Amino acid sequence: MTAAYVALEGGHVLEGRGRVPGTARGELVFTTAYTGYEESLTDPSYEEQVLTFSYPLIGNYGVREERFEDDQVHPRAVLAKELTEDVTDWLESEGVPAIDHLDTREIVTDIRDQGAMKCGIAVGDDVTEDDALEQLEACKAMSDHTDIGAQVSVEEPVVHGADNDGPNVALVDCGAKGSIIDSLLEREATVHVLPYDSDVADVEAVDPDVLFISNGPGDPANYEDAAALVETFVEDTPVAGICLGQQIVARALGGTTEKMTFGHRGVNQPVLDLESGRVVMTTQNHGYTVADPGDHLEVTQINVNDDTPEGIDGIEYDVITRQYHPEANPGPEDTLDFFDDVLAMVDGEPHRAVPADD
């Protein structure tokens, strides 16, 4: 059996079965999703992280490229109770180390008790615990990845749906999932995907009807360029955001953010709409949250489990953001109407916090 070691912050080392050789380091996190491993593994928000699957069998329905959210695997390494050959063959082709035959229940419990932590990974015929510990020693805290946006963003503007008849959306790509773009295209929007560090002139060049800040990895405090765009355009242009985008928008308008203990990662996070009293199930993947929305924004939705902000709307500005992923992929489709609400702001229409009951 190929040797495989996971060195955890604090010095504890786990041993498992090596499935894909290599060394890696990153922030150790977990997802509770039962399905959607293809979408999770290609989600740019997992950049610089080591992903643990809490569900015991990963790969039981194969690997299909049409489910990918991006053109590469983003976690630095993958941990599971059991991985199928379909998944390990895919990870090997991507050069992503993988380990299974681990007690993932213990790993998840440790993360819940101690928080997301640094870890080092070593897999191979000749590796030792010391190799994993060396990787751990070199691991940086997530907030120290000050230019992580460069690792997941487009380098040059890209236009999707140029012939569509709907609004012009400037999507600032901080690590956008493909299904966000697809959701806007399905509503006939023209989507201009812009680099995460775009300036005011870059946005003005596309004459947007909506400024949209995407999801992505890392600390929202490290996305100063995107926050500056929100500050500049919010008085005259509707602003929307998803996940990291919500945090960036809040910071830009006077709010504050904070790192969570272990974050929300899964497809069954319950969200309460404060006005309607309705609870919807959502897909989430984030380790930071809005601590205080500030004076220009109000919290309209909260997480049922811990009361963290899930939806934020503008008080005097046309702003609508969501901490969860309304596009799902994977997950429930309870909140797909978010994209209708975003585009409705272009016409000055009031948005619906949640879709109406049938």
Q: Is the pLDDT of residue 196 over 70?
A: yes
Q: Is the pLDDT of residue 351 over 80?
A: no
Q: Is 218 annotated as a binding residue?
A: yes
Q: What residue spans define the domains of the chain?
A: 3-140, 148-347
Q: Is 288 annotated as a binding residue?
A: yes
pLDDT of residue 155: 98
Q: Is 216 annotated as a binding residue?
A: yes
145 is catalytic: no
d(CA 133, CA 140): 13
CATH number of 3-140: 3.50.30.20
Q: Is 285 annotated as a binding residue?
A: yes
192 is catalytic: no
Q: What is the mean pLDDT of residues 329-337?
A: 93
**Are both 3-140 and 148-347 of the same fold?**
no
| Residue 120 CB coordination number (10 Å) | 28
d(CA 31, CA 37): 10
CATH number of 148-347: 3.40.50.880
Q: Is 287 annotated as a binding residue?
A: yes
82 is catalytic: no
Q: Is 214 annotated as a binding residue?
A: no
pLDDT of residue 60: 96
Instruction: List pLDDT tens digits, range 264-321.
Output: 999 999 999 999 999 999 999 999 999 999 999 999 999 999 999 999 999 999 999 9
Q: Is the pLDDT of residue 354 over 90?
A: no
- Least confident span in 236-240, 313-317, 349-353: 349-353
Instruction: List pLDDT tens digits, range 123-162.
Output: 999 999 999 999 999 999 999 999 999 999 999 999 999 9
Closest CA to 74 of 103, 39, 36, 35: 39
**What is the helix (H) or strand (E) element at residue 50, kind and residue range?**
strand 49-53
pLDDT of residue 293: 98
Is residue 231 exposed (0-12), middle (13-18) or buried (19+ Cβ within 10 Å)? middle
pLDDT of residue 347: 86
- Work out whether strand 158-160 and strand 49-53 pair parallel, antiparallel, or are unpaired: unpaired
Which of 119, 139, 327, 351 does the annotation list as catalytic? 327
**What average pLDDT does the structure give for the chain?**
96
pLDDT of residue 353: 44
Q: What is the CA radius of gyration of the chain?
A: 20
Cβ neighbours of residue 139 under 8 Å, at least 6 residues apart?
A: 25, 26, 27, 118, 119, 120
d(CA 25, CA 38): 21
Which of 243, 264, 310, 351 does the annotation list as catalytic? 243
